[in-house]
Structure 1
Amino acid sequence: MTIMPPDLSIFESLESEVRSYCRDWPTVFDRAHGTHLVDEDGHRYLDFFAGAGSLNYGHNNPVLKRALLDYLERDGVTHGLDMATTAKRAFLETFQRLVLRPRDLPYKVMFPGPTGTNAVESALKLARKVKGREAVVSFTNAFHGMSLGSLAVTGNAFKRAGAGIPLVHGTPMPFDNYFDGTVPDFLWFERLLQDQGSGLDKPAAVIVETVQGEGGINVARPEWLRALKELCERQDMLLIVDDIQMGCGRTGAFFSFEEAGITPDIVTVSKSISGYGLPMSLCLFRPELDVWEPGEHNGTFRGNNPAFVTATAALHMYWTDDQMEKHTRARGEQVGQALLALCDESGAEEARCRGRGLVWGLEFSRAQRASEVCRRAFELGLLLETSGTRSEVVKLLPPLTISADETDEGLRTLARAVRDTG
């Protein structure tokens, strides 16, 4: 039987060269359900990518889909700017009752726009407005978005270069274990803050990811995060936690910072907050920081009512008890054990793994091998992406709703891809 290659001509001739994921997965996808995508020729792919973390509850989750269809069929408001709607009220009430109050989080909720970088931009703007200072400290290998303010606190040189102009008012500091434990935590940072000759302007805020996804699955220790929070308090800086990819249960708890026992001043949330892959983001902050003037931060698509509907349904479905958290931790342990075995098989000098919850990375000493593994995995029916500054890490980001059998299937396929590329 002759297998015809997919017709990609319209994408290659008309779509911009900036496209990326489609180059790694050269097929035309048609349908998706749960943990699988199906291309137009009927080939099934197990999804260990989950829309870059936007599909924590899987593709076309039936409970969320039913809520969305019911809302649309009754002509519910689709576009509402920041108007008060029944869909927004239901989300706010549910979010407060199921997420904020049980965690004793006092946050106000802001809808800054449809994407994660909108949330980061609003957080940076608010921190600067509150403190009256321009500088913001970020960390090595950080990724916070592709708009100019977010790029200024992003570490990746390739992405920063795309700005085309100087990226200012952001200063990087070493992330946890950047010096392999040879330098005490925050020694350099605190000394610069205390030294009047250091040249470091007093920062308004510090922005951090508890697990750096794009940076290579770099996991910050709880004690490091606690020390960072204490440093911010001593030095009158706001702490911003970017929970865009690691929030909504990705690390187990709803917020990734819960394990450290800290309460950030500002939190950015996006990706899986809608639960259905619909654009939506939040900027959460302590009430005393709510110094905005009406309309001072604006946006046409900051009130995505269909996303409010699916977000509310997701909270009701998965966050009324701790079963989702337990499930995520169990599947995460399953992944971690399999990756450790794979590293032992490959040899410590060849591969090593790290992760939390259901976000894991498999790093190769020969950076190119990670791309080779992902390419072979695609041929075998598994979707994976790379991360890290040299794309040296295979990143595992399956839906949180994945079953033990599906997890095992994906891990067996990954192991075969590793062996086939060795």
Structure 2
Amino acid sequence: MKLLDQTVDDSVFAQHESEVRSYCRSWPTVFTRASGSWLTDQSGRQYLDFFAGAGSLNYGHNHPVMKSALLDYISEDGITHGLDMATVAKGRFIETFAEKILVPRGLDYKIQFPGPTGTNAVEAALKLARKVTGRESIISFTNAFHGMTLGSLSVTGNSMKRAGAGIPLVHATPMPFDNYFGGVVEDFAWFERVLDDSGSGLNRPAAVIVETVQGEGGVNVARAEWLRALSELCQRRDILLIVDDVQMGCGRTGEFFSFEAAGITPDIVTLSKSISGYGLPLALTLFKSDLDVWTPGEHNGTFRGNNPAFVTATRTLEHFWSDDSLTRDVHAKGQAIHDAFTGLCETYDGISTRGRGMVQGLVFDEPTAAGKVCASAFGAGLLAETSGPSDEVVKLLPPLTISHDDLDRGLAILADSVKEVIG
């Protein structure tokens, strides 16, 4: 019997898997197949996916274009594991990434493959910034999330995740994210003051790391003018600017990079999640050429050369990023989600909305309502997650390629769930 025709006793997970598991608690079923915007569990029930692998499946599940390229590569005995050896698969990806992404945007970035996950990319970015500048401190922002390894946790805001480190997380200083004080305090006023004050106790930072939209932090959107001001401040002070585009890159906000709309050019950029286009592990750390001060092997990882991911990533770039049609589609669908959420906010008290492109959040004054809405939606066949410091936000990350009919269907389920919980 084929693997996907077999069934699994769901008690095996509670019996043998660590208590650390999380998503399976919110969606208590055993999934077996997935295609496009839909997952199917072993009972045959289908679920519409507004989660998309936490942003790792921007192009949906098992997209036929990438699947065909991957199957061909595997059937021809293409290299799977290659460390940082030169392979045809990696070479074609680099060529295509430069042609489709870097050159059209005038970006002179070197490409580093630091390891297969987003936190690997962030760790490499932090290490490089410290090596280039000779400084230790990193400026991060309130409600930021950058990963679960120690360096990434040091620039992450969530207290529960930070506590899991078990040791002090040092050499990082949090600053208020855009609109943290509701417009009462002038942006960057305190930051600039302490940089100039020899009595402030602030170590001169190597870099600032920022998300243009804080997904895990609650879909907090930085204004373009705030990002431009931050970039200008870093330039004036000889501080490197790192943009963490792990979740918001690869078209999630419309353009390929989420910082494009602000018209800035970060010194370092981190990418992962949807860069492979197929859900296969892959991460990039991009940086300006003059920052490439690494010595051979100074930062490495056993799985930094995931060749099947290079294959699907290349086909993704060729298929989706040869013109601006996907960008225009993302903006249109993002507006549709925003309009639907605005309608809910006008209908019910105690909720608001915020977002960019196809990352949109529905914010509840009563934090527990968000989880109840997601639970109700799951019961009706829709996957959506919560985010924010109190899990007070229903965060939508549908596949960018979702059909308009499926998008409308999912939004209708969500509207019914909101009505059930607070209507």
Q: TM-score range by the shorter chain?
A: over 0.9
Match of 2:120 in 1: 118
Secondary structure of the 1:7 match is coil
What letter corresponds to residue 393 of structure 1 in structure 2? V
**Unmatched tracts of structure 2, length 5 or more:** 1-6
Alignment partner of 1:245 out of 247, 265, 274: 247
Match of 1:159 in 2: 161
Secondary structure of the 1:64 match is helix
Match of 2:191 in 1: 189
Match of 1:148 in 2: 150
* Counterparts of 2:235 and 2:185, CA distance in 1: 22
* Counterparts of 1:299 and 1:261, CA distance in 2: 33
- 1:351-366 equivalences in 2 (<5 Å): 351-366=351-366
* Counterparts of 1:346 and 1:189, CA distance in 2: 38
Alignment partner of 1:32 out of 34, 47, 58: 34
8 Å contact 1:6–1:26 — kept in the other structure? no
- 1:45-194 equivalences in 2 (<5 Å): 45-194=47-196
* Counterparts of 2:238 and 2:196, CA distance in 1: 12
1:137-182 deviations in whole A, cap 9, x for unaligned?
0000000000000000000000000000000001000000001011
Match of 1:346 in 2: 348
* Counterparts of 1:250 and 1:283, CA distance in 2: 18
* Counterparts of 2:60 and 2:394, CA distance in 1: 20
Shift of the alpha carbon at 1:403?
1.1
What letter corresponds to residue 412 of structure 2 in structure 1? R
Match of 1:11 in 2: 13
8 Å contact 1:251–1:328 — kept in the other structure? yes
* Counterparts of 1:134 and 1:313, CA distance in 2: 39
Identity %: 68
1:312-360 deviations in whole A, cap 9, x for unaligned?
000001000000001101100000000000111112xx10000000000
1:16-67 deviations in whole A, cap 9, x for unaligned?
0000000000000000000000000000000000000000000000000000
Match of 1:384 in 2: 384
1:387-415 deviations in whole A, cap 9, x for unaligned?
00000000000000011111100000000
* Counterparts of 2:179 and 2:79, CA distance in 1: 48
* Counterparts of 1:66 and 1:72, CA distance in 2: 10
Match of 2:3 in 1: none
Pair 1:310-2:315 in alignment: no
Pair 1:395-2:377 in alignment: no
* Counterparts of 1:420 and 1:246, CA distance in 2: 31
Shift of the alpha carbon at 1:7?
3.4
* Counterparts of 2:418 and 2:218, CA distance in 1: 18
The root-mean-square deviation of aligned C-alpha atoms, in Å, is: 0.8
Match of 1:368 in 2: 368
8 Å contact 1:374–1:394 — kept in the other structure? yes
Shift of the alpha carbon at 1:128?
0.1
Match of 2:280 in 1: 278
Match of 2:4 in 1: none
- 1:177-256 equivalences in 2 (<5 Å): 177-256=179-258
Shift of the alpha carbon at 1:8?
1.8
1:256-279 deviations in whole A, cap 9, x for unaligned?
000000000000000000000000
Match of 1:418 in 2: 418
Shift of the alpha carbon at 1:226?
0.2
8 Å contact 1:267–1:284 — kept in the other structure? yes
* Counterparts of 2:308 and 2:103, CA distance in 1: 24
* Counterparts of 1:192 and 1:156, CA distance in 2: 24
What letter corresponds to residue 378 of structure 1 in structure 2? F
Q: If the length of structure 2 is used for normalisation, what is the TM-score? A: 0.98
Secondary structure of the 1:300 match is coil
* Counterparts of 2:225 and 2:280, CA distance in 1: 35
* Counterparts of 1:6 and 1:15, CA distance in 2: 14
8 Å contact 1:219–1:355 — kept in the other structure? yes
What letter corresponds to residue 170 of structure 2 in structure 1? V
What letter corresponds to residue 403 of structure 2 in structure 1? S
What letter corresponds to residue 369 of structure 1 in structure 2? A
8 Å contact 1:88–1:308 — kept in the other structure? yes
What letter corresponds to residue 371 of structure 2 in structure 1? S
Secondary structure of the 2:354 match is strand
Secondary structure of the 1:421 match is helix
* Counterparts of 1:8 and 1:154, CA distance in 2: 33
What letter corresponds to residue 407 of structure 1 in structure 2? L
Shift of the alpha carbon at 1:6?
8.3
Pair 1:301-2:303 in alignment: yes
* Counterparts of 2:17 and 2:347, CA distance in 1: 42
Q: If the length of structure 1 is used for normalisation, what is the TM-score? A: 0.98
What letter corresponds to residue 50 of structure 1 in structure 2? A
1:176-234 deviations in whole A, cap 9, x for unaligned?
00010111110011111111000000000000000000000000000000000010011
What letter corresponds to residue 352 of structure 2 in structure 1? R
Give the paired residue count: 416
* Counterparts of 1:176 and 1:273, CA distance in 2: 27
Secondary structure of the 1:46 match is strand
What letter corresponds to residue 226 of structure 2 in structure 1? W
* Counterparts of 1:98 and 1:232, CA distance in 2: 28
